[in-house]
Structure 1
């Protein structure tokens, strides 16, 4: 049984999938014949909305004060993805667990295909189907659903490692919203994920929504005028604020610049390590681009470099270079100076591989001319434990008070 997307040229694509009542036989049809309802992302491009996310953003993203080397951006990034289907999604598939599972796996494959153009691989490391009831609140309100799901996934991350979690729900969201996710939150312990309404019978539809919401996690905003040069009849761009027919499947240069800016600022620090192929959902598979146990090669022969060969340069004052071991085709996991180590001549401290100063964070958050407040402001305001002053969030999503 096979299924997939056949792209002949930018405006000519075909969908291949098994017949519903005869999985050994297949149907093929033009993508233009796939009807999709119009939908919109719940994220609003406004300063007010951006500032609502500010506390989450500041708690989950680290900023460097030195430009990350361009070579580091050219290295492939790996997102270890956890996909979850809620109870309503199972109901939508008439309680057919296998059909639900296949749709999620197919959607993950499409998302991986979309992101390959950005040199990002999406590795499905976990798939969970809530067939016996939801483990978080899944309602018509996308904002409360997102808050509840992110709280659940942050606790789940302790026991099941993943970089990003996406919920696929069969509950129709209010209005035209089909998805919602925090901006610039990839790798955040509490904010890396999104919620997506399953608005299409075909997996490509929900995959486009997941790719869009994950794009917000990567720091991408909705496309502004002039960004998307792909014609509407060709599907448009993934980061458009609203989607319709046919589905969008491409990122544009504006998206690339925003992604590059986010990675330059220190976002995505958890994406350098290649996932353990033994943990990937579905087990070993030839042709997936990952060299797995029992394979001599996958998309090219692997010739091991000698031990001590530099494989990843240091990207900043607090980062450390990595060297080949001579026993593995993969560069060791990214390592960096211990948190609290002095940098910038004693004016700043290392945290998660980044040399952080108050001034640099102010400039990143508020733009040119921003200045750090006196120490007494941090001591008093951050002790409040609210959106304006906090030390991040706990596993329940509540703001934590800072100790003086």
Structure 2
């Protein structure tokens, strides 16, 4: 069972939120030109810091022991199991780790019990996905990569959302409609044989926090003046775009994204190339869960590049310079096809915001880029969601625009993703942000978003009778022709073997779901040229059908084995001339 180590253990998250995203910025089309929102006044910046400080005091944490829900033999209901590993039991069949297509976890925290029902996010990685690292200046490419990234829902909770990775404990977030929770292990290292693994779970505040400072009317007028002239056209086009006809927005779109990690990010992840790549994939997995739900857009990873030996550009406090340097690096050195390439850096920007990207730059080799300052998993995902949205033509929303009802989110507690007020763990785009994206598409922007990339992992279908990657068993369904009669239902639940089961079907699997011993006959020889097969002791299936070598003597040395059959002169004549003519063909007596 998942239990809280310290039921009353709660701490503020002010220390963690020092690394949370302050704000995202967008670079304009020419060097050094920023989007119109950059002219936000200084007092708004300071008030945002105050808002972040107040928000941090409301963040709470607990330590919990999550468990994976499994079926035990002869039990109809799920039970908690302390091992969180989601790798399938037949890893020897694959050249890389394969994780369960479906799984469930139970998490107890803040006086509630959450059951997360998950399915592998098969759209996350493209078929051409590669991971790139450097050794003494030489580039090394690894095709594919471990896929342990899930999307799902909270059982029994409508409109809930989950994005979790399971490569090394549970990393990710879940949202029950009232609060957003993030979870990660206390330590990246763990003894798999230990009984449990402590995790830290954090709950974001669920009540609306004032996004607009309590200025006087005079102060508010002064702060809004820089926006007025530049945003009249934006307000007009938003009004037109709110009710656009069905078309490109409703069609599913695909952002083929490449992530680059700088050397400090690599060192931040304990100089582990695998940890660094997995962190980047976890970030994108969360962003994809947001985009697919609200923008009808999937975010598909085509590559993750990690600067394992040194940085390829100068990492400094000026994000504008970094953005332009990174744009040049992409044009000159990155060969992979991508609609956008974003840098994740562990450097610190001396700027009011934590990321920067070119506005409307998607599909452009020179402008489809962004730079993002390091933060914890959820804050990093929010930054990437914001900077990628800028590439997609979505504007920032200052507090003055947020006051307009048409720009508000459908929820009133978590804030909007593109708000310019330091909202932490915001999870929805406002109506005006969605209108921006619709207008961008209807202007002809984002032409590259409509080619669907081939998936690295195809969706499995539990219940079709075929054991596919990510499944340990599949008994089929009684309602279809794919039902496997000799498949033992107690051994296989939801296409995963019950805890303690070795197998679910096959001539080498007994009714107790255990392998039959070696040398047990599982397929008898059908003739002299066939061979009886025996169980191997480590599989429920009988080995492949074997035969004696061609030319082996058979039929009392009157014939020879060929392709598993005993070939004799008589048999060949019967095959050619038929049984009735065989006697006349070889008759040697006097003529009748």
TM-score (norm 2): 0.40
Q: Deviations over 1:211-232 (max 9, x none)?
A: 1011111111111233234667
Q: Distance in 1 between matches of 2:204 and 2:430?
A: 21
Q: 1:214 aligns with which of 381, 388, 394?
A: 388
Q: 2:408 aligns with which of 228, 239, 244?
A: 228
Q: Distance in 2 between matches of 1:156 and 1:211?
A: 25
Q: CA deviation at 1:70?
A: 3.4
Q: 2:246 aligns with which of 48, 51, 70?
A: 70
1:4-403 residue pairs with structure 2 within 5 A?
A: 4-9=172-177, 11-20=178-187, 21-22=189-190, 25=197, 27=199, 29-32=201-204, 70-116=246-292, 117-157=294-334, 159-198=335-374, 200=375, 202-223=376-397, 224-225=401-402, 226=404, 227-229=407-409, 234-244=413-423, 246-278=424-456, 284=457, 286=459
Per chain length, whose mean CA-contact separation is higher, i.e. which structure has more relative contact order (CA < 8 Å, sep 6+)? 1
- Kindly indicate whether the alpha-carbon contact (under 8 Å) linking 2:318 and 2:351 is maintained by their aligned counterparts in 1: no
SS in 1 for 2:317: coil
Q: CA deviation at 1:184?
A: 1.2
SS in 2 for 1:250: coil
- Kindly indicate whether the alpha-carbon contact (under 8 Å) linking 2:186 and 2:200 is maintained by their aligned counterparts in 1: no
- Kindly indicate whether the alpha-carbon contact (under 8 Å) linking 1:16 and 1:26 is maintained by their aligned counterparts in 2: no
Which has the greater radius of gyration?
Answer: 2
Q: Distance in 1 between matches of 2:182 and 2:351?
A: 29
Question: Structure 1 pair 23/195, CA: closer, same or farther in 2 (3 Å)?
Answer: farther
Q: CA deviation at 1:49?
A: 9.8
SS in 1 for 2:343: strand
Q: Which has the higher helix share?
A: 1
- Kindly indicate whether the alpha-carbon contact (under 8 Å) linking 2:259 and 2:305 is maintained by their aligned counterparts in 1: yes
Aligned to 1:394: none
* Ranges in structure 1 where 5+ consecutive residues have no aligned partner: 35-44, 51-67, 279-283, 289-293, 297-404
Q: Distance in 1 between matches of 2:319 and 2:455?
A: 33
Q: CA deviation at 1:94?
A: 3.3
- Kindly indicate whether the alpha-carbon contact (under 8 Å) linking 1:185 and 1:192 is maintained by their aligned counterparts in 2: yes
- Kindly indicate whether the alpha-carbon contact (under 8 Å) linking 2:266 and 2:306 is maintained by their aligned counterparts in 1: yes
**How well do the aligned residues superpose, as a CA RMSD in angstroms?**
3.1
Q: CA deviation at 1:28?
A: 5.5
SS in 2 for 1:275: coil
Question: Structure 1 pair 179/230, CA: closer, same or farther in 2 (3 Å)?
Answer: farther
Instruction: Please say which of residues 68-77 and 267-276 is displaced more in the overlay.
Output: 68-77
Question: Structure 1 pair 48/138, CA: closer, same or farther in 2 (3 Å)?
Answer: farther
Q: Deviations over 1:151-173 (max 9, x none)?
A: 1123345x211111110001100
Q: Distance in 2 between matches of 1:165 and 1:295?
A: 30
Q: Deviations over 1:139-160 (max 9, x none)?
A: 1100000001111123345x21
